[in-house]
């Protein structure tokens, strides 16, 4: 059964509209409680508990209240950590023995959207089969005409402090980099309260920008999807580097002193080289997605390291990491998983690890990332009426096959539907930009004619 509610990163949509209307969110809570109760042994005496965290959107508290009401009606206790990064929810779910963790966030989307990310007791996002089972329960409850009831939530600040302590332990503490001039962009999101405390504890007097959330300014011309403001600030201030998080702080992208963007591919290469040199890169393996640049693959090969690709989504990266025993993985978008410390992408942890690597290597961020020769790459999004499987559309299959044949050995094509929006994403990568542009134009024309909204 194909999933209807869950995309690549949970349930997502416009807050207040299906499936994030009050009744459906309440039923999600009821169904999740049922799923948890099914997994418990008959002898379990204590009431299962769930941790809820959220980002700074104005809709996050109402959604959390409706979800909590459903959970409590289903016999599950709720502890609310308030505004906290997604990775904190995953970490604390395991550390404190919660039956599940839930993050209310739409990550990098604008404030009108929101979402529900569910973690199992192991801190992993639910596997596809379990999400499909949860969906069945949700639709069954919706069919029974269940009506929501309210719930009051009180926020417990202790989980945030506990997560901060975890980050400081992972970082190894202050790295003697107090003289560095750093700009930190919190995207007016979940990092807004913790990031300033983290950098202060690490001994860095960072300049913090976009950390005054008002419920509507999350990701608004700031954060990891909108790096122009950070780039200008880094260059104008003569800063050593800058880092930008997204709305739920599960991704981080960096800017070098000259304004150059350092994306997830570069971060993976820097981390892989450092970990391999210190004999910490298990199986000499890095796990990433189909979107990773071919330049990363070539650079790793030169170092005697291997790369494995997965579908887009850090949950799939993690699943492959567990299967293959890898300890480092991530996405070009800035979701980086350091398996020793996390079970999901963690922007704050990534910043800590980069600081640690800079201190150990005694190199600037610009110097560390010089080993990556990036293949030109272009991503084109096309809004679609329906997500018809590409395998059912011969004209599209033929167009992709033609481009793949032309680019054999010199580039590649990736076509996929967005897991969270009505979009088909066409990515072309090749040795030079004219070749990329040529194949993007060809493919866009065909896809627009067949699928365009």
Quick check: is 192 catalytic? Answer: no
Question: Distance (Å, rounded) from C-alpha 313 to C-alpha 318?
Answer: 9
Domain boundary among 158, 187, 222: 158
Number of domains in the chain: 4
Residue ranges in 44-155 assigned as alpha helix (H)? 60-73, 86-95, 128-143
Annotated catalytic residue within 100, 107, 224, 403 = 107
Question: Distance (Å, rounded) from C-alpha 243 to C-alpha 256?
Answer: 9
Assigned domain for 80 exists:
yes
Assigned domain for 219 exists:
yes
* pLDDT of amino acid 421: 81
Give the DSSP H or E segment for 403. Answer: helix 394-406
Quick one: 210 and 286 in the same domain? no
* pLDDT of amino acid 9: 85
Assigned domain for 163 exists:
no
Domain boundary among 349, 371, 393: 371
* Domain range enclosing 192: 168-261
Quick one: 12 and 146 in the same domain? yes
Quick one: 22 and 94 in the same domain? yes
Question: Distance (Å, rounded) from C-alpha 51 to C-alpha 127?
Answer: 19
Report the chain's terminal Cα–Cα distance, integer Å.
26
Mapped onto helix, strand or coil, the DSSP state of residue 295 is: helix
Assigned domain for 313 exists:
yes
* pLDDT of amino acid 76: 95
Quick one: 393 and 319 in the same domain? no
Quick one: 397 and 361 in the same domain? no
* pLDDT of amino acid 45: 59
* pLDDT of amino acid 40: 76
CA distances from 64 to 69, 98, 103, 114, 321 (A): 8, 17, 9, 11, 31
Question: Distance (Å, rounded) from C-alpha 404 to C-alpha 36?
Answer: 45
Quick one: 356 and 287 in the same domain? yes
Quick one: 22 and 134 in the same domain? yes
Assigned domain for 142 exists:
yes
Domain boundary among 371, 397, 419: 371
Quick one: 189 and 97 in the same domain? no
| Domain at 16, CATH number | 3.40.120.10
* pLDDT of amino acid 443: 95
Mean pLDDT by 10 residues, the chain (453 residues): 80 96 96 91 74 98 96 95 97 96 96 97 93 94 79 85 96 84 97 97 95 98 96 96 98 96 96 96 96 91 95 92 97 96 97 94 87 88 91 92 90 87 92 93 93 82
Assigned domain for 179 exists:
yes
Quick one: 334 and 269 in the same domain? yes
DSSP 452: B
Question: Distance (Å, rounded) from C-alpha 141 to C-alpha 234?
Answer: 51
Instruction: Please name the residue that has the structure tokens 């010089």.
Output: 370
Quick one: 126 and 37 in the same domain? yes
Quick one: 247 and 271 in the same domain? no
Mapped onto helix, strand or coil, the DSSP state of residue 427 is: strand
Handedness of CA 155, 157, 158, 164 (dihedral sign): positive
| Domain at 422, CATH number | 3.30.310.50
Quick one: 115 and 217 in the same domain? no
How is residue 211 written in tokens? 């950390």
Assigned domain for 1 exists:
no
């Amino acid at each position: 059964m194909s999933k209807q509610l869950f995309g690549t990163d949970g349930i997502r949509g416009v807050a207040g509209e299906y499936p994030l209307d009050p009744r459906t969110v309440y039923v999600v809570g009821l169904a999740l409680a049922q799923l948890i109760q099914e997994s418990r042994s008959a002898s379990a005496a204590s009431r299962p508990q769930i941790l809820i965290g959220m980002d700074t959107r104005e809709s996050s508290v109402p959604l959390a209240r409706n979800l909590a009401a459903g959970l409590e009606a289903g016999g599950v206790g709720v502890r609310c950590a308030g505004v906290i990064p997604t990775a904190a929810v995953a970490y604390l779910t395991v550390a404190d023995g919660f039956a599940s963790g839930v993050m209310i966030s739409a990550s990098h989307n604008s404030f009108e959207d929101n979402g529900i990310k569910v973690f199992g007791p192991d801190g992993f996002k639910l596997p596809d089969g379990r999400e499909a089972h949860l969906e069945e329960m949700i639709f069954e409850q919706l069919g029974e005409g269940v009506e929501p009831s309210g719930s009051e939530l009180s926020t417990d600040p202790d989980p945030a402090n506990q997560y901060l302590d975890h980050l400081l332990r992972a970082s190894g503490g202050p790295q003697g980099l107090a003289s560095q001039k750093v700009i930190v962009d919190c995207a007016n999101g979940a990092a807004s309260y913790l990031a300033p405390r983290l950098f202060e504890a690490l001994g860095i007097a960072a300049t913090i920008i976009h950390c005054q959330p008002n419920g509507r300014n999350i990701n608004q011309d700031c954060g990891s999807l909108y790096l122009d403001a950070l780039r200008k600030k880094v260059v104008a201030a003569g800063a050593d580097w800058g880092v930008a998080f997204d709305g739920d702080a599960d991704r981080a992208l960096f800017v070098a002193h000259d304004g150059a963007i350092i994306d997830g591919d570069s971060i993976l290469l820097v981390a892989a080289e450092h970990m391999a040199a210190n004999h910490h890169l298990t199986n000499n393996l890095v796990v990433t997605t189909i979107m990773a640049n071919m330049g990363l693959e070539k650079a790793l090969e030169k170092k005697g390291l291997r790369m494995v690709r997965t579908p887009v989504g850090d949950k799939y990266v993690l699943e492959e990491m567990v299967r293959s025993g890898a300890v480092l993985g991530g996405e070009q978008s800035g979701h980086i998983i350091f398996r020793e410390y996390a079970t999901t992408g963690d922007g704050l942890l990534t910043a800590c690890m980069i600081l640690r690597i800079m201190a150990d290597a005694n190199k600037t961020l610009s110097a560390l990332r010089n080993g990556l020769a990036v293949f030109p790459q272009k991503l084109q999004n096309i809004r679609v009426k329906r997500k018809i499987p590409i395998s059912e559309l011969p004209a599209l299959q033929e167009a992709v096959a033609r481009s793949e044949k032309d680019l054999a050995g010199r580039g590649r094509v990736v076509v996929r539907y967005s897991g969270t929006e009505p979009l088909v994403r066409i990515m072309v990568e090749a040795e030079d930009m004219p070749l990329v542009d040529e194949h993007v134009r060809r493919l866009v024309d065909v896809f627009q004619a067949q699928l365009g909204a």
